[in-house]
Amino acid sequence: MQIQNPTLKAYADKISAQLQEVKARIDMLDAQAKQKKADMHIAGIQALKKTKEAIDKKLHELKTTGEGTAARVKADLDAEMTTLKTSLDELTARLKG
């Protein structure tokens, strides 16, 4: 199902692009952690991957939802993306330190 509302479509495209960037960062951290044999960081990376998957599902929900629930789904996506990015930044800093 395609999103008919242009504003929602632009929002969904923005979130999709951010998720692609997040995936690239997670993959890079995963490689660094494995290279350093940093098992405690690998567990954190797995948690980030699960959070990203949950956001992917929310994004799919946004694409298939009606206008009435779109605002709630957008709010959920914004909150989850903020949490994911913060966690990703924290893990990046710990892995570099």
pTM: 0.83
pLDDT, averaged in runs of 10, over the chain (97 residues): 77 95 94 82 90 94 84 93 95 85
Please report, for the chain, the start and end positions of each structural domain, with discontinuous segments joined by +: 6-92
What's the confidence (pLDDT) of residue 46? 93
The pLDDT of residue 1: 53
pLDDT for res 14: 95
Amino acid 33: pLDDT: 85
Q: Which of 48, 76, 45, 49 lies closest to 60, judged by CA?
A: 76
